[in-house]
Structures are given as structure tokens and as C-alpha cells.
Amino acid sequence: MKKILLLIFITCSFALAQNVKPETLIRKVKENFAKVKDYEVDAHIHINVDFLKVPETDAKIYFKQPDKVKLSSSQFAMIPSEGLNFSPMSFFKGNYSAVFVRNENYTGFNTAVIKIVPLDDDKDIILSTVWIDMDYFIVRKTEITTKSKGTYALLLNYDVGKTKYYLPVSMTFLFDVKTDNLHGKFGNNKDTDKNGQKKKSMKGSASITYSNYKVNKGIPDSIFKDDKKK
């Protein structure tokens, strides 16, 4: 019922703004990313969280369509799982309704802002807001609200003039998530509040710089099988 009311509110609020077809933009974004069957990339990760001191981390990230992702690092690597995967397929899947909100100049790029409401009751995502680059049909920014994992945003930077595939060179991940949705272990870090109780949520950010992409080289499924052992 809440999803229906939310959808009605969004549809009514932005009915006059439907001069852009969101389905067309989403299809073009999907077509762009579908060219990437898999990739392996080096990542430098910097975590900024109030009550934790997290060392900067070098890692390798593996991705394979449609949704296999793995982070491999010999160092401490704490990051919410959503921060590992910038694939637009994660919020453009299943049944949903998409509504065009407005055009916006976002950090110098001409973008269309689209709100996406999942229609399946079993989906954890409640609402996604997506900034789609109107020239390159890539996602520049997303803001996502979920039922169980909190809220987060992805801010993506690209160098489209130097790569065949539109993959980001850096990303800022802003999160307010539950502590049980983190990639890595806390160890002896102070993840408790002033009363000594374990914190139920965590606010912070992660800055990730990507380099040395290896795209469509073929990654076996076995790469992802031992992820829980890391």
C-alpha cells in the first residue's frame, strides 16, 4: 500500500515534466553497460567514518554479469557491499515504474533526473533517484533508499574520452547503513556508542579510485565462490 501511495504521489507531482521518456534513457544506459561482460580492476579505497580509523586499502575488484562482484585484498577492507558494485542493473531490474523529474546541470553535465519505484513487494529498494547523462547515457549519480540496509548514494566520475567502455575512474560512496551490511570485520575498532552498545547503523563515505581495467577477458565463476572465506 505504501509503495502504491508513493508511486501516485510521484506520478502526480511530476506529470507535467514528462517531456522525456525515462524508459528510453534506461534502455540506452543498459545497452551501454551490457557491453561489459566482466572486468577486473585495481581499486584504492579510502574510508571516512567518524568512530573508526580505517587505513587506506588497495584491492582488486572482480565483476561478472549480471551481478557477481568480489573484492580481494590482503589488507583490512571495510565497505558496505553496495559500494563494490556500480552496475546500473542493480536498480534497473525487476518490475518498476520510472518517472522523469527534471533536467539538471549536474557538475557541468546535462542530466535527466529519474525516480524509480520498484513494484515487487519483495524488493529491498524502496526508491531510487538516478541522474543520467543525456550525452553519453551513463549514470552520474544515484540516491537509494532501502527497507533493511539504510540509505546510500553513488557519485561517479568518468573519463569517456580515453576508454572504449564507459566505466568510472573514481566513485564516492555516501552511506548510512546497518553495521551488519559491511564488507570486512571491525576487529578492535570502536564500533560502539557512548553507552557501550554496538552501533546499529553507520554514517560515512568511501572514495574509490579505479585503475588498470581489464574488460571482457573472461572471468571464471570460481573466482567468486570463495568470497566468504576472505
Is 208 in a helix, a strand, or coil?
A: strand
Beta bridge pairs of residue 176: 151, 203
DSSP E strands in 86-181: the ranges are 96-106, 109-118, 125-133, 139-146, 150-157, 170-178
Residue 3 has a pLDDT of 56
Topology given in CATH for the domain delimited by 2-229: outer membrane lipoprotein receptor (LolB), chain A (2.50.20)
pLDDT tens figures, 166-184:
999 999 999 887 666 555 5
Residue among 188, 189, 191 nearest 178 (CA)? 191
Task: Look at the pTM and tell me if it is higher than 0.85.
Answer: no
Of 132-146, 183-197, 202-216, the range with the lowest mean pLDDT is: 183-197
Looking at residues 117-138, what average pLDDT do you find?
Answer: 91
Where in the chain are the domains? 2-229
Q: Which residue has the higher pLDDT, 165 or 16?
A: 165
Q: Which residue has the higher pLDDT, 11 or 74?
A: 74
Looking at residues 134-158, what average pLDDT do you find?
Answer: 93
Looking at residues 136-162, what average pLDDT do you find?
Answer: 91
